[in-house]
């Protein structure tokens, strides 16, 4: 017989929670390390020439816009692909294979730091690397969201808290690289070696999970449950069959008994069939009908967030000294965003407001659109149309803090609420669906960022 829920083992030493925290961090290392390194890439892609006595940029690559778009499009496409791979490729191959390819691509990016090449070629190679590394990241993220959906709700919050810390991890690594006394190439090399180590640790944590009793119980529960039900049905079937073979009554009595047994068997199997039907997974459409509000919320949250971050915000300039300018974007844009985003995700472990049934929840999510004009009116340079209303660094940092905190908070609530709206057996389907809509929001935001940056 299967263990009852009350007999579930405990998470000793919180090892499973720690593993899923690191797995969450590992899923977003590629996106965050490439995004935070925008200053390095722009430095290699920027060249100037003189025109009528004025120094001008020879060619504008719009790195932040393209980097955002080519990060999020594969996330959307390969999240869809993952829904097909889910049935055909084992979870171990999808997760471990993705991590291995991500590791190889990070190593390639680190090596590329020391390789000098023409700017157009470097741009093309970098964009291709971003596309492939985020493609594997999409399969990894979708698989892990489905996996964590099988555990208690708090593990989803822990997983997403780890995702939030990935950005902070990347921003701190970039600050250390900028602040080091090493030359720019050595600093960049050290920066890109860091996610290689992080990816290896993530792979180790995934391989450790099957050895932890608490993870085994929850991740294998559906298989055990199904096997246990099948055994009970077979046992009941054999009992009925043996009863028929042991009857030596007259032909009339035998016929009567067969009818009686058939009716009895039908009645005996009816509750089991109903129970088995109740356990059968709902269709994707049925699950979507239950979680569509949360799907809309997570899509809208990321559409708003990616529409201005980092494509618009990364071009904000400080009003202070040139020395501070080296650190300004890393601190006030990337570090502020990632710390506050992580805090927003983490606080959902303790606070769940508004409740999932509340109409206020989607209204607050939609209200975040107000951050778009606020950030566009900060001291973003390379502007043609809009005036600057919030020139001071403190104004920009404050808006960024509120913007990122609300992004992390509402995203995490949406992702945590969705599995609660369906039966436990449909938690994995709900997690996979929410991952798709998360990717859809990221892609929409990345596409809109081109328009918003041009409007500035």
pLDDT digits (tens, 9 = 90+) for 414-435: 988 998 999 888 877 887 788 7
- For 47, phi then psi, to 5°, come to -135, 145
Given this model, what pLDDT does residue 156 score?
82
pLDDT in tens, 163-220: 878 888 899 988 988 888 777 788 889 999 999 999 999 999 999 998 988 888 887 7
- For 241, phi then psi, to 5°, come to -65, -45
pLDDT in tens, 92-134: 898 999 999 999 999 999 999 999 889 999 999 999 999 999 9
Over 385-452, what HEC string results?
CCCCCECCHHHHHHHHHHHHHHHHHHHHHHHHHHHHCCCHHHHHHHHHHHHHHHHHHHHHHHHHHHHH
Given this model, what pLDDT does residue 10 score?
87
Q: How far is CA 393 from CA 95, 315, 320, 368, in A?
A: 41, 13, 8, 21
Q: Could you tell me the residue ranges of all domains in the chain?
A: 11-219+278-455
Q: What is the pLDDT averaged over residues 445-450?
A: 93
Centroid of chain to Cα 74: 13
Cα angle value 209/206/190 (rounded, 5°): 145
Q: What is the pLDDT averaged over residues 148-177?
A: 86
Confidence of residue 332 (pLDDT cuts 50, 70, 90): very high
DSSP annotation of 351: -
Minimum mean pLDDT range among 246-250, 276-280, 402-406: 246-250
Given this model, what pLDDT does residue 256 score?
42
Question: What is the rounded distance in angstroms from the CA atom of residue 191 to the CA atom of residue 186?
Answer: 9
CATH 1.20.1250.20 at 11-219+278-455, yes or no? yes
Tokens for 228, please give them.
């246990």
Q: Kindly report the average pLDDT of the chain as a whole number.
A: 82
Q: Which percentage of the chain shows pLDDT scores above 90? A: 43
Q: Could you write out the DSSP letters of every residue in 209-259?
A: GGGSHHHHHHHSHHHHHHHHHHHHHHHHHHHHHHHHHT----HHHHHHHHH
Given this model, what pLDDT does residue 105 score?
95
- Residue 304 or residue 227, greater confidence: 304
Given this model, what pLDDT does residue 386 score?
92
Q: What is the pLDDT averaged over residues 23-42?
A: 88
Q: How crowded is the C-beta side of 69, counted as CA atoms within 13 Å?
A: 11
Given this model, what pLDDT does residue 306 score?
94
pLDDT in tens, 46-95: 766 655 555 555 577 888 889 988 888 888 888 777 666 666 788 889 89
pLDDT in tens, 282-324: 888 999 999 999 999 999 999 999 999 999 999 999 999 888 9
């Amino acid at each position: 017989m299967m263990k009852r829920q009350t007999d579930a083992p405990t998470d000793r030493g919180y090892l499973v929670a720690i593993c899923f925290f690191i797995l969450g961090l590992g899923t977003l290392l590629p996106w965050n390390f490439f995004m935070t390194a925008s200053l390095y890439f722009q430095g290699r892609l920027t060249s100037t020439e003189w025109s009528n006595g004025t120094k001008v940029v020879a060619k504008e690559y719009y790195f932040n816009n393209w980097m955002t778009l080519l990060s999020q499009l594969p996330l959307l496409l390969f999240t869809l692909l993952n829904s097909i791979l889910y049935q055909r490729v084992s979870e171990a191959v999808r997760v471990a294979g993705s991590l291995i390819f991500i590791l190889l691509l990070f190593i390639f990016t680190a090596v590329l730091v020391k390789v000098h090449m023409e700017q157009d070629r470097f741009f093309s190679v970098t964009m291709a690397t971003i596309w492939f590394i985020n493609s594997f990241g999409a399969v990894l993220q979708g698989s892990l969201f489905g996996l964590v959906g099988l555990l208690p709700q708090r593990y989803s919050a822990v997983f997403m808290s780890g995702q939030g810390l990935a950005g902070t991890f990347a921003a701190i690594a970039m600050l250390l690289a900028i602040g080091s006394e090493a030359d720019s190439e050595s600093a960049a090399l050290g920066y890109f070696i860091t996610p290689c180590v992080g990816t290896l640790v993530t792979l180790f944590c995934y391989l450790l999970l099957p050895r932890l009793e608490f993870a085994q119980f929850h991740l294998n529960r559906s298989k055990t449950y199904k096997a246990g039900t099948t055994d009970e049905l077979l046992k009941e079937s054999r009992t009925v069959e043996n009863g028929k073979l042991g009857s030596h009554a007259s032909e009339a009595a035998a016929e009567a008994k067969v009818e009686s047994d058939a009716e009895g068997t039908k009645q005996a199997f009816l509750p089991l069939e109903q129970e088995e039907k109740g356990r059968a997974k709902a269709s994707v459409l049925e699950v979507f009908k239950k979680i569509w509000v949360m799907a809309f919320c997570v899509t809208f949250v990321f559409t708003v967030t990616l529409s201005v971050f980092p494509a618009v915000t990364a071009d904000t300039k400080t009003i202070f000294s040139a020395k501070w300018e080296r650190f300004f974007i890393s601190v006030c844009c990337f570090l502020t965003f990632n710390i506050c985003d992580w805090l927003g995700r983490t606080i959902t472990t303790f606070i769940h407001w508004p409740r999932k049934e509340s109409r206020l929840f989607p209204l607050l999510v939609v209200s975040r659109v107000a951050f778009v004009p606020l950030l566009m009116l900060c001291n973003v340079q390379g502007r043609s149309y809009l005036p600057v209303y919030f020139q001071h660094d403190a104004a920009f940092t404050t808006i960024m803090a509120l913007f990122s905190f609300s992004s992390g908070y509402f995203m995490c609530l949406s992702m945590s609420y969705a599995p609660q709206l369906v039966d436990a057996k449909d938690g994995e389907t709900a997690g996979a669906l929410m991952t798709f809509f998360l990717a859809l929001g990221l892609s929409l935001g990345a596409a809109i960022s081109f328009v918003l940056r041009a409007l500035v």
